[in-house]
Chain A
Amino acid sequence: MAPDAAFSNISDKNEFTKFAKFLAYKGVQVIVESRKGVKIEPNSKPHTSDSDWFNLQIPDSPEVNQATKNALPSDRILETIRCQLHVEISVQTEDGDEMVLELWTLKLDDAQFDTSLKAMNTVYFRMGILLKSLITITRITPAYHLSRKQRTESFTIFYRVYNGEPKLKTLGDSVKNIQAGILKTPLGGLCFTVSYRTNFSISPNQSKTDKTLLLKSDHFELSPKHVIFESKKKKEKEPRSSSPIDLNKPLRQAAFVDEVAISKVIKEFLEKLPLPACRMAQSKAPEEKTNDSKSTQNLDIVSESPISVEMPPKKFSGFRNENEPPLKLLHFPFADDHPIRELAEFYKDFFNAPHLKLSDEHKTCNENKELEMSTDDLSKDLLLHENSVREFDELLADMCRSAEWNNN
């Protein structure tokens, strides 16, 4: 326990409190800046005055400062830091899946005091070094690499600042801790620590006990686009097409597919098979509604309790929408030997099954037919199919013969 009369005079204690306050403000700025997904390039920052706190050119975003201010009341700086100040970093995919990635904590540990450190300019100088350590450590956790991909992938990284007990349960069972240095002062040891998840999948087994199932994890990078960074509230997402196939758009082929061969096979197939008209787009509206309801959740950073990873089961189509890019596995350190990886590999292969592309000719044909045919054509379709049974049988026999011929 730090001695009560740690500082010889009140002005030193006031000064220490002020330094601790700015250490917290700048610490949060450093953490948030590092998760914006922006690489700091030479000459990328505007030239500032030489009166920067701790002689470091750390950004001073008003929004981040406000979030810190709400969690760190100015009349209870040391008390709040003693009770711990946290910055939670979480990720949300386009589908609304959320996962807390890491939890940064600033605390004042009473047991780690050093009464020999009296000079306030030394305290200030060492706080600058502590911030440098924080800057360095923010680059080595998995969330840094993930945040750098935000601009090209479809997930958003969020942060929130709160004080009190850390919500470590949201990080899952497998957590790693790093301490980014400790500064021993007469009032206790000031230190930044980070706890981050090493398991980026949520096992389907959990659903038996927790009644939760999160089928997608950030082993998978989901569709392109997205927001760079947000804080307090999630932006309302653009309504997204929930139709599995939109024939107004060309179907996309998988990589390395022989386009000519595929279109030839399809052409031959369609010549032999009378193509029934597709009718769709009637059940679009309700699905869109379902998707939207998830995206309008309000995440008030400061006051709201932490986001839970225990989420209700997500709708899972099992197949890749044509607008979605193939899944890729993210390579996170420490995650290679996890049994879920095999499942992830299987899921990826299954999900990435190639899409067939119809030729423009057939697409136009389909579109025309679609326009011409109305819903009462159903009986005609059935009749047509019934009449074509013989053709189907012939086609099947032809294919069997062809397979036998190939085997021989």
Chain B
Amino acid sequence: MNARSIAFEMSMEGRQVDEVVASIFHTVLFHRSSGKFTYTNEESYSIRTVSYVDVDCDFIDFTYVCCESEALGRIVKRDISDFSERLRGSDGSSPPRGSISLEFFQKRRARWPFQPECVPWEVWTVCCELTEARNEQDMHTKHEGVVEMLQDKIVFITEIINRHEYVPKMPSRSDADLIFDTTYSDIQPYLFKIHYNLSGAPPTSVGNTVRKLIRDTLSL
């Protein structure tokens, strides 16, 4: 399966990192989550309702929508905060750069004793570069720039997602766990993981790692 990879390059103040990344990731996850599936037999299912909430940002003049799921919010927040703290604390490169990715993948069953293979089908990456405002006017200009950029990204996200490319087919009951994360009680997002890289280069995806491992094995 081909994977679609979308990267956004954005510069922002350190305190805006959490909200910029959360705006993008939650917008994607809102589109990529459905209500809980209830299978009536192997092929038939009904889907429960998804609720959504508005989130007002504190450090940018922006409101985004996300699924009403405490568990999802907690997990996304934890990963983004971890990335943000490390990025803001880094003293290596100047200005600090880092990228964080939201990767959707599906599992492929493997024969024992191997683990199921994770094949990514869509990766959203936000490459962040931290900037510092020289004065208040500069801060105001940069702030407006971040908001405008976010608006453009949100429109782009909706455009991409409505193309319905690369998305896994609706699974039968026995394969539901290979496509969806069924551990949430209130929603059912496609399987995803968040990972980051602080060197500035896009992080290596799970799928790429697997492929690299296979290539390395074959070249031996």
List A residues at the B interface (Cβ < 8 Å). Answer: 39-45, 48-50, 52, 55-57, 125-126, 128-130, 132-133, 135-137, 139-140, 144-145, 148, 178-183, 331, 333-334, 336
Name the contact of A333 in the complex, choosing from B65, B151, B170 (C-beta under 8 A).
B151
* B158 with A139: CB separation less than 8 A: no
Taking the closest CB of chain B, its distance from the CB of A290, in whole angstroms, is 38
Q: Could you tell me if B161 and A181 are in contact, using CB atoms closer than 8 angstroms?
A: yes
Contacting residue for B154 out of A45, A48, A140, A145, CB 8 A: A140
Asked if B166 is at the interface (CB within 8 A of a chain A CB), the reply is no
Measured CB to CB, the closest approach of chain A to B4, in angstroms, equals 15
Within 8 A of A (CB), among B94-132: none
* Chain B residues closer than 8 Å to A136, beta-carbon distance: 27, 30-31, 64-65, 154, 157-158
Contact check, A140 vs B151: say whether CB atoms are below 8 A apart. Answer: yes
Asked whether any CB of chain A lies closer than 8 Å to the CB of B217, the reply is no
For residue B85, CB closer than 8 A to chain A, the reply is no
A55 touching B161 by the CB < 8 A rule?
A: no
**Known contacts A55-B34, A132-B30, A139 near B46 by CB under 8 Å:** no
Given A333-B144, A333-B148: A57 and B49 interface contact (C-beta under 8 Å):
yes
- In the complex, what's the smallest C-beta–C-beta distance from B146 to chain A, in angstroms? 11
Once A136-B27, A182-B162 are accepted as A-B contacts, the answer to whether A57 and B51 lie under 8 Å apart by CB is yes
Given A140-B62, A183-B162, 16 other A-B contacts at CB below 8 A?
A40-B53, A48-B49, A52-B49, A55-B35, A129-B31, A129-B161, A132-B30, A132-B31, A133-B161, A136-B64, A136-B154, A139-B54, A139-B65, A178-B155, A181-B158, A334-B148
Other-chain contact of B63, A41, A133, A139, A182 (Cβ < 8 Å)? A139
User: Are A50 and B162 touching (Cβ within 8 A)?
Assistant: no
- For this complex, 30 residue pairs linking A to B, each with C-beta atoms less than 8 Å apart, are A39-B54, A39-B56, A40-B52, A40-B53, A41-B54, A42-B68, A42-B70, A48-B49, A50-B49, A55-B34, A55-B49, A125-B34, A128-B34, A129-B162, A129-B164, A132-B30, A133-B31, A133-B162, A135-B30, A136-B30, A136-B64, A136-B157, A137-B155, A139-B54, A140-B154, A181-B158, A181-B159, A181-B161, A182-B162, A333-B151
Q: Provided the pairs A41-B53, A56-B50, A181-B159 are in contact, do residues A144 and B63 lie with their beta carbons within 8 angstroms?
A: yes
Inside 8 A of A145's CB, which chain B residues have their CB?
61, 63
The A/B interface has a contact count, at CB < 8 Å, of 97
Q: Which A-chain residue is minimally distant from B31 (CB atoms)?
A: A132
B71 proximal to A (CB < 8 A): no
Q: Which of A50, A129, A144, A333 contacts B35 (CB 8 A)?
A: A50
Which A residues are in CB contact (< 8 Å) with B161? 129, 133, 181
Q: Considering only CB atoms, which chain B residue lies closest to A132 in the complex?
A: B31
| A126 in contact with B164 given A40-B54, A136-B27 (CB within 8 Å) | yes
Q: Evaluate contact between A50 and B52: CB separation under 8 angstroms.
A: no
On chain A, the residues within 8 Å of B34 by CB distance are 55, 125, 128
Complex Cα–Cα for A178 and B152 (A): 10
**A199 → chain B closest CB, angstroms:** 16
Central interface residue in B51, B154, B159, by most chain A CB within 10 Å: B51
Give the top 10 A-B pairs by smallest Cβ distance, nearest first.
A181-B162, A133-B158, A57-B51, A52-B49, A50-B48, A40-B54, A55-B35, A140-B151, A181-B158, A39-B54
Closest to A140 in B: B151
Residues of A within 8 A of B54 (CB): 39-41, 139
A residues near B30, Cβ cutoff 8 Å: 132, 135-136
Whether the Cβ atoms of B155 and A45 lie closer than 8 Å is no
User: Quick check: B147 and A333 within 8 Å, CB to CB?
Assistant: yes
